[in-house]
Amino acid sequence: VSAVDLCIAGASEILPFRGGDGPLVGPAFRDPEVIHDGALIVSDGKIEWVGETQGLERALAGRRPARRIDTPGRVVTPGFVDCHTHIPFARGREAEFEMRIEGKSYLEIAAAGGGILSSVRHFRETSTNDLVARGREHLTAMLRGGTTSVECKSGYGLSTEHELRALEVIRALQSGPSTLVATFLGAHAIPAEHRPDPDAYVDLVVEEMLPQVARQGIARFCDVFIEEGAFSLEQGRRILTAARDCGLLLKLHVDEFHSLGGATLAAELGAVSADHLDHVSDREMRALASAGVVAVLTPGVNTFLGTAPFAPARKLVDAGVPVALATDFNPGSCMCASMETILSLACTQLRLRPIEAIAAATRNAAHACGLGDRVGRLERGFDADILVMGVEDHRTIPYHFGTSHVELVIKGGKLVHA
């Protein structure tokens, strides 16, 4: 019998998202369990028990918790998992934000040397120490907002030296409290020096970057931005096939602005996730569902860029595709690191119900970044990443938007923010 680090008792609701394997789909996604007057026990940094408060004493079996938190009138959820971010980046792009307000499109700004390429210039001229410091600031703010696990991508280096440096920054950030997953996104944009011959850059990614990334073991995933002006379907296939051969798991940015068939490619290659999906077709939804690819939806991007349509979330749910949510936190297309904000957008713009949105931001997001056996649920054996929300009803979290409801953040059984 282990010592009890912590117990929580008397929560108006606990949303455990427990039971079964894999992400929640179909009826399990539409109608997850809610425990009223809930309690839980944490030992050795893991969830030991979850149930109704009336069962707590029996579950404690005479042990005295080191800390007891009574949470009447509070909702308890798993920590948020932000399964798509572009940390590390060097700085914001406020001038471009203003240009877009004045009518220039994201792709027009990119074609004029702004966009991702301006972040590449900033990244290359910023020291590794400064990038780590900036990343830490973002992760600390995210942790306070309830995000306890974060997927981080390279992709502003776009040369072997700087892409490896981006992944080293992510590795340095692993020493902080958040659980991080590293993704190699060398194929984020064609860098300026390769614009005359994009295929030569694809060669560089495949022949030089990927083998070094794999050898150093500093990324778990490889991602490609398949889009007009970025990488073609064929270039994406080449990079992702090589990445898979190196033992990396796959993610794809697809269907953000144009449909190039990237969702079909994600299904074909057995990708873990396909992200954005604003223009996904019905046929592609069926392919994603049968391949078990998680759809990572990013309504913050549509909101920030003012682009329509939003991803067809309800159709994806009905097609049996597991749906996850992420911020896509980055300086160009979504300067928002708040998962609570994303929950509100998911409800109002994607028409997910509040409990579906929270499931998509926790358990399903964990599966979208390879952490599904460890975080995203309040279930025996899972990491004790727990949020106590200052609301009585979970629906208030997205409904009362623009305000953080996070009161306590517990990471691995330790109170990290109050």
CA 308, chain centre distance (Å): 21
For 277, list phi and psi in degrees, rounded to 5: 65, 25
Give Cβ neighbours of residue 6 (< 8 Å, ≥ 6 apart).
41, 42, 65, 66, 67, 68, 69, 384, 410, 413
Q: How far apart are CB 334 and Zn ion at their closest, in Å?
A: 8
Nearest residue to 406 (alpha-carbon basis) of 53, 177, 142: 142
Q: Which candidate, 301, 248, 315, 352, places its Cα nearest to that of 106?
A: 301
Q: Is 48 in the site for Zn ion (CB under 5 A)?
A: no
Identify whether the C-beta of residue 363 lies closer than 8 Å to the C-beta of residue 78: yes
Q: Least distance in Å: CB of 169 to Zn ion?
A: 17
Looking at the Cβ atoms of 191 and 412, the one nearer to Zn ion is: 191
Instruction: Please name the residue ranges forming H helices in 188-232.
Output: 198-204, 210-216
223 binds Zn ion (CB under 5 A): no
Instruction: Please give the size of the binding site for Zn ion, defined by CB under 5 A.
Output: 1
Range in contact with Zn ion (rule: CB under 5 A) among 11-19, 24-32, 197-205, 320-328: 320-328
Place of tokens 């009161």: 407
Spatial contact of 395 and 26, defined as CB atoms under 8 Å apart: no
> Residue written as tokens 């064929």?
234
Q: Tell me the per-residue interface mask from 279 to 318 with Zn ion, x by CB under 5 A, - otherwise.
A: ----------------------------------------
Question: Is position 340 an interface residue for Zn ion (rule: CB under 5 A)?
Answer: no
Which residue, 275 or 383, is less far from Zn ion as judged by CB? 275
Q: What is the Cα–Cα distance from 230 to 236, expressed in whole angstroms?
A: 10
Please identify, using beta-carbon distances, which residue of 255 and 328 lies nearer to Zn ion: 328
Q: Find the shortest distance in angstroms from Cβ 297 to Zn ion.
A: 12
Residue 328 makes contact with Zn ion by CB under 5 A: yes
Residue 379 found at the interface with Zn ion (CB under 5 A): no
226/386 with CB nearer Zn ion: 226
Give the nearest distance from C-beta 330 to Zn ion in angstroms.
6
Q: What is the largest CA-CA distance in the chain?
A: 72
In whole angstroms, how large is the CA radius of gyration of the chain? 21
Nearer to Zn ion, 43 or 349 (CB): 349
Q: Would you state the structure tokens that stand for residue 366, as one six-digit string?
A: 């964990």
Q: How far is the CB of 328 from Zn ion (least distance, A)?
A: 5
Side-chain half-sphere exposure of 50, counting CA atoms within 13 A? 26
Q: In sequence order, which residues have a C-beta less than 8 Å from that of residue 103 and are 6 or more positions away?
A: none
Shortest distance (Å) from residue 361 CB to Zn ion:
16
Q: Does 256 bind Zn ion (CB under 5 A)?
A: no
Q: Is 278 near Zn ion (CB under 5 A)?
A: no
Binding span for Zn ion by CB under 5 A among 11-19, 87-95, 327-335, 394-402: 327-335
Burial 112-121 (b: 16+ CB within 10 A, else e): eebbbbbbbe
Of 20-28, 114-122, 144-152, 328-336, the segment contacting Zn ion by CB under 5 A is: 328-336
Tokens of 399: 């409904």
CB-nearer residue toward Zn ion: 40 or 326: 326
Euclidean distance between the first and the last CA atom of the chain, given in angstroms as a whole number: 29
d(CA 335, CA 59): 44
Shortest Cβ 250–Zn ion spacing (Å):
14
Query: Cβ closer to Zn ion: 86 or 136?
Result: 86
Q: What residue number has its CB nearest to Zn ion? A: 328
> What is the nearest approach in angstroms of Zn ion to the Cβ of residue 393?
32
Residue 142 and residue 83: Cα distance in Å, rounded?
13
Of the ranges 58-66, 90-98, 324-332, 386-394, which one interacts with Zn ion (CB under 5 A)?
A: 324-332
Does position 151 bind Zn ion by CB under 5 A?
no
Shortest approach of Zn ion to residue 216 CB, angstroms? 23
Does 227 engage in binding with Zn ion (CB under 5 A)? no
Q: Which residues bind Zn ion (CB under 5 A)?
A: 328
